[in-house]
Every structure is written in C-alpha cells, then in structure tokens.
Structure 1
Amino acid sequence: MNVNEALYQLGLAVAPGVGDVLIRQLVSYCGSAEAVFKSTASRLVRIPGIGEVTARSVLNPTVLREAETALHRIERLGVRLFFYTDADYPDRLKTLYDAPALLLHQGTTDLNAARTIGIVGTRQATDYGRRITEELVQALKPYQPLIISGLAYGIDIAAHRASLLHQLPTVGVMASGIDIIYPSVHKKTAQDMLANGGLLTENLPGVKPDARLFPARNRIIAGLSDVVIVVEAAAKGGALITAEYANNYHRDVFAVPGLVGQTFSQGCNKLIRENKAQIYTRPEDIIEALNWDQPIRTEAAPLPNLNFTEEESQILTLLRGQSDVHVDDLSWKSQIPLGRLASMLLNLEFQGYVRSLPGKRYRLQ
C-alpha cells in the first residue's frame, strides 16, 4: 500500500459531503487523490459539480488529520485498501456507476474470482430456506465459486456457514466498519471466514451499522456477483433490494419459489411473477445458465493470423484465456463505447470467433 496516496484517498472518503460520484469527479479532473488536496479552492470550484462548500470541505485541514487516524487504525487491523483507480480493485465493480470509491478488505480471498454467486434472503429463515441454501452450496463445490452474502441472520449466515463446511471461499459484505461485526453473535463465523474468504466493507473502522448503510451494502453484494439467488424473502426487505440492484447491473437473478401465502415466499414469488428473476428449482439451473459446466480456460489457443482491426484484436485478446467476460467489463477494459462494442461483438459472432452467453457475457468460440 502506498501510504501517502492511501492517506489522500482516505481523506476524500472522510470529507463531509463528498460521496463516490464527487470523488470520481475530483480525481478525474485533478489526476489523483493527492493532487486534489494539493489543489486550491479556486481551482476545485471550476470542476463540474464541485461548489464552494464542497471545495472548502475537502481542503479543511481536519480532513487529513482524520484520515491519518483512520489509516493508523487500518494498518493495525491488517486491512487492505482498494481505491477505484487501483489495478486490483474488483473488476466486477469497476464499470458500475455507483460503485464504492474505496473498499476495505480483510481476508485471503481473490475478489476477482472466476466465478461468484450472491446468496441472500430473509433474516427469519425457515428450515426449508436453510436446507435449500445448504444443498445449493454443496452442489456448487465442484465449480469453486466465491460465495458472497451479508453476514446477517437467516439465509446470509446459512450461506457463509455452508461455504465453510464445504470449503468454498466466502465473503461477508458489511454495513459497518470492518472492526464491528454485526450481529455480534456471528463473530466466530466471521473469524473463520478470514482463512478462506474474508470481510469487505466501504465503511471506515469504527462505523456502526445504520439503517441507511444496509441498502448500500446490498449493491456491493449484487455488483460482485455473477448471479444472485434469493432463497426466501418477504414482500419487502433487503433481499429484494439486492435483486433490484442485480437487475440494474445486468446480473442474472434467480429466486426460489415457495408456498402461496407463506410470508417468506412472497418476495421470491413476486420476483418470478414480475419476470425479475428466473425460477430456481435445482442447482443445475444456475450452473447451466452461467455455463459453469464448461471448463475455465487456462491456456488460450492461438488465433489465426487474420486481418482483424485494432479494436477487434483488442477484444479477442481480452477474451483469451477467460471462461467468459461481461460486456461492461469488455467496454471498460477496452475503452470502446458499448454501442460500437455491441456491433463489433455481433460481427465477430457472425464470423464464428465469439460466442454470446446469457447475461450479456461473451467468450471465444
């Protein structure tokens, strides 16, 4: 970790009134977090969206002092920082319009795992919901996905514990600082997850869980996941918020159907009825939808020496050695606008070089 740059990145995170969007705006115009703090108020106010109040807020000397205190706590905890401009910031989040500018991660897992699945549901899980969760996680073991959930009561903790039981990596996304496990009764499970998975949050150490932080937490679960499965949910609740985010991010969403009239089947049945989720009946539904039954490519066969354009060659290079890549990731990594990229992918598909998959994902033929 570059300590100096981390200090300035934390400064942007603690500055009052400066959220993820304005952080991106500031860094985009100034070039780095450090450059923001070495700028002047008169220069910052010329940046679109940055008024005098925001400029004064950022340049207030107390901001960097607070950031320094936070940095010391992070170092003591052995937590890793990911700023959105870092090369190892999670790829699945990079293209999202509302992704957190800063993430804190504690643990061993690779947040860019080849396969990821979010498992969410009600805090008041039934035996049925827990059984479905356990059976799903067990069935996914041969595919070694990263299991993502929210460390909450009910379905969340069932997913984490099943992952530990079956030796799958699992990450708990928190609506608090990384040093505050909520609920506290899950501390033992959270500690066990550090050895094969970990904890992730956008909140600085010391931040206590708050109602407004849970929906924000849910967007991270959705963004990190290739697919989100809602096991049980009432007509309203956090699981449905996660599903809504997943749909907005063009992720696959599945819901477990339940008995008509059952409180914690209402949300799942509603998602299916409104075509916001595919019906889940067995683990193979997810495995087949995401082509997880196809091997992950570790070695790329050489492409024939054809007259590809520079951009086409770039796309094919990005797809080489990958099981599949989301169109948003291709656009971000290639810096080719989505409209032109879609046309190029279609052309390459017609020529037999690219194959389109469900969920706006692509792979080499």
Structure 2
Amino acid sequence: MNDDQLRYILALQHVSKIGDTTAKKLINHCGSAEAVFKEKKQNLLKIDGIGEIILSELYQSSHFEEADKELKFIKDENLKHHVFTDPTYPSNLKHCIDSPIVLFESGNINLNNKHIISIVGARKITTSGIAFCEKLIEELAIYKPIIISGFAYGTDITAHKAAIKNKLQTIGCLAHGLNQIYPKVHKKYVAEVENNGGFFTDFWSSDTFDRNNFLKRNRIIAGISQATIVIESAEKGGSLVTADIANSYNRDVFAVPGRVTDSQSVGCNNLIKQQKAHLLSTPLDVPYILNWQLENLQKPPVQKQLFIELDPDEKVVYNYLKDNNKALLDSIAINCNMPTYKLAGILLNMELKGVVRPLPGKLFEVI
C-alpha cells in the first residue's frame, strides 16, 4: 500500500464517529478508503446501518491534516503498517468483526507459526503465578509458539521475559502509540522484545494516554491469538475482559485454578466454574486441547533406535496402540485406565522417542 492510500486509511480512522466495524463496511462497499471520501453522501446513506450522525464529521479537512502528521511519524520512525485488506495483516485478527482497520508495528514480527497464544493475568502476580507462567512457556517451547501479551506489569512482562529466555517470538500489544512506552520502567525490555518479535498497536502517536485504551487493545490480544491463557486474576480485571473477548471470537480460553481463599484466583476459578475456560493444571493441557503437533520438529530416526526404553505406563499405551492400529486419545485413556492429563504427557514423551505419532482429530498410532 502506497503513502497516498495509507493517508486515506488514516483519515478514515481519525473520524471519531466511525469505528473499525463501520470503517470496514464503508471500505468494502466503496472499494477503498479513498473511494469512501469521494463517494456522494446520499449514496453512503443508502448503506445499511450508515446514518447522518455517523457521516456528520466525515468531510472535515482536519482528518487529512492529522493523517499527514501521523504519516510523517510512521515514515520518520520507519514503522510497518498492516491494513485489514493486506495479506500481511494477522489472519486470526482479520476474522474479528471489530479488529483495527490498520495495525502499526515495530520490530521483526513473523506470524507464519500458527501456534499463537496470549498470556494475561494479574498485574500483582504472585510468586506461584510467576513460577507457573515460566514453567508453562518453558514446556511449550518445543512447539515454538508465539507469545502475546500486553507489556504491562506482572503477568504480561513475566510472559515476555520467559518467551525471550526460551528463544521464542513474543509480541507486546500496546494501549498507546509507538512514540512511548508504558510503564516507563519496561523500556529496558523494548530492544529484546523487538529483536525477538515486536510491538503492535492501533493507536496513533497523537492519541492521549487513557485507561480505556487498555480495554480497547485487549481485543487485539484476544483476536490475534489461537487461545488466551489467564494465569491469575482477581474477581474483576482486564484479563477477564480479554477472556470474554476471546470467547466472543470463539477462541479457546484457559485458566489456572487456585485455592478458593486466594484473592488472585477468584477470577480464574469463576471462568472455570462458568465453563468459560478450560482448566489448566499442566502445560501439556494446552497442546492437547489445541491439537498441536510436533510434525515440523526433527525427531530421532526410528530405525537407528533398535532398543527403545519405555516405562511401565508407556508400555501399556504402546501395546494398546499396537493391537488397535490407531485410536483416539479419549479411547486410549479409557482402555489404559489413565486420566487424559497424564496420558497427554505420556504420549508426548513417546512421540519424542519416535514410537508414536499424532494424527488429525486427536488420533495416535504406533510408528
């Protein structure tokens, strides 16, 4: 997209009474943002849901004046941008009705890996919450997931740092323009994040810092991800908003349970109790529920391992699969008398040993 086309996109984004959903409707109807501004008002009013109030500010020259300023900032800072019609726009986010019409990026983000999860939670995260978050990312690292969070205090920065430690790509979704960093104390992590991913935002450099921005940016965190994981949360909090948005997008949500007496576990326990989230008790619950596979990883060639040592549980699973050719995970669990959370770990270890492999639909077979 050239600068002139981006200028029209920015101008349309600047119209306060036209949100992302309406902007996309106008662009899809007219063919481009430029065509929206050049279309006669009476024709725009014929579009379902478009009225006088929505269009009342459309033709003000100030939108282009501000768009020119932001375009200069984007060029001066050498920022990348992704319009919702571009092939570079995050595919998961593209399917969300209220996703931004344009995303701004700094860093080196690559979304080719489809294993994308967002990790959110309390800003005042407990030591046990930190430990679980770090263990979660460390054990999922074999799947090379992209870790999304909000670069805020507590859970967010814990997730970003753990991703970097495990050499995973991580993306911070910001609630402000790319001309600033909040909280300021996290500036020391910016370079590492940009070297291992980067930042996304739909806010301009001229946007005022506002608490409501954090709730608005949560739709990006939820929408860009395959699933959202809530590590800890009080009874109310922004992470619960993100979980609700993820549910509205028909995405999987996980929550880490805690003691009923722990204030920072109330939100997670409620999500599970209300069946709004999967109970997350072990990191292997994530690849099991999301049906992640290790097909792109290098595995030891089976023919070079003449004698593979299996522990007693692995032998039970191996013999069952050998007799039945292939079987569903739930069938294996029932017939081998093992809980699925335990079986998921056993199958992963057997897969790494090169004796079983996963198939689509949560099927497994002996190699």
* Range into which the TM-score falls when normalised by the shorter chain: 0.7 to 0.9
- How much has 1:184 moved relative to structure 2? 1.0
Partner of 1:295: 295
Partner of 1:121: 121
8 Å CA contact 2:143, 2:294 repeated in 1: no
Distance in 1 of aligned mates of 2:361 and 2:263: 38
Give the 5 Å matches for 1:7-156.
Answer: 7-156=7-156
3-state DSSP of counterpart to 2:58: helix
- How much has 1:148 moved relative to structure 2? 0.2
Amino acid aligned to 2:106: Q
Distance in 2 of aligned mates of 1:220 and 1:245: 9
Distance in 1 of aligned mates of 2:51 and 2:114: 42
Q: How many pairs align?
A: 303
Which protein is bigger by CA-based radius of gyration? 2
Query: What per-residue deviation string (whole Å, max 9, x for no partner) do you get for residues 124-143 of structure 1?
Result: 00100111111111111111
Is 1:175 the counterpart of 2:175? The answer is yes
- How much has 1:51 moved relative to structure 2? 2.7
- How much has 1:357 moved relative to structure 2? 6.6
Is 1:239 the counterpart of 2:239? The answer is yes
Distance in 1 of aligned mates of 2:19 and 2:38: 19
TM-score by length of 2: 0.78
- How much has 1:287 moved relative to structure 2? 1.5
- How much has 1:52 moved relative to structure 2? 3.2
3-state DSSP of counterpart to 2:284: helix
Partner of 1:216: 216
3-state DSSP of counterpart to 1:295: coil
Amino acid aligned to 2:28: S
Distance in 1 of aligned mates of 2:360 and 2:137: 28
Task: Report the CA distance shift for 1:65/1:198 in structure 2 as closer, same or farther (over 3 A).
Answer: same
Unaligned runs of 5+ in 1: 298-353, 359-365
8 Å CA contact 1:41, 1:52 repeated in 2: no
Query: What per-residue deviation string (whole Å, max 9, x for no partner) do you get for residues 38-97 of structure 1?
Result: 223333333333333433412212211111111001111221111111122110011112
8 Å CA contact 1:180, 1:208 repeated in 2: no
Amino acid aligned to 1:28: N
TM-score by length of 1: 0.79
Amino-acid identity (%): 41
Partner of 1:4: 4
- How much has 1:191 moved relative to structure 2? 2.5
Distance in 1 of aligned mates of 2:51 and 2:285: 50
- How much has 1:15 moved relative to structure 2? 1.5
Distance in 2 of aligned mates of 1:296 and 1:6: 37
Amino acid aligned to 1:193: V
Amino acid aligned to 1:269: N
3-state DSSP of counterpart to 1:217: helix
Distance in 1 of aligned mates of 2:16 and 2:250: 32
Distance in 2 of aligned mates of 1:272 and 1:41: 49
8 Å CA contact 2:223, 2:249 repeated in 1: yes
Aligned-residue CA RMSD (Å): 2.0
- How much has 1:208 moved relative to structure 2? 3.5
Distance in 2 of aligned mates of 1:91 and 1:230: 23
Query: What per-residue deviation string (whole Å, max 9, x for no partner) do you get for residues 238-270 of structure 1?
Result: 111111111111111111111221110111111
3-state DSSP of counterpart to 1:58: coil
Distance in 2 of aligned mates of 1:241 and 1:212: 12
Give the 5 Å matches for 1:259-270.
Answer: 259-270=259-270
Distance in 2 of aligned mates of 1:234 and 1:254: 15
Distance in 2 of aligned mates of 1:293 and 1:112: 15
3-state DSSP of counterpart to 2:171: strand
Amino acid aligned to 1:57: E
Distance in 1 of aligned mates of 2:293 and 2:30: 46
Partner of 1:327: none
8 Å CA contact 1:182, 1:209 repeated in 2: no
8 Å CA contact 2:17, 2:55 repeated in 1: no
Distance in 2 of aligned mates of 1:270 and 1:53: 40
Partner of 2:315: none
Give the 5 Å matches for 1:323-334.
Answer: none
3-state DSSP of counterpart to 2:117: strand
- How much has 1:219 moved relative to structure 2? 1.3
Query: What per-residue deviation string (whole Å, max 9, x for no partner) do you get for residues 327-363 of structure 1?
Result: xxxxxxxxxxxxxxxxxxxxxxxxxxx95579xxxxx
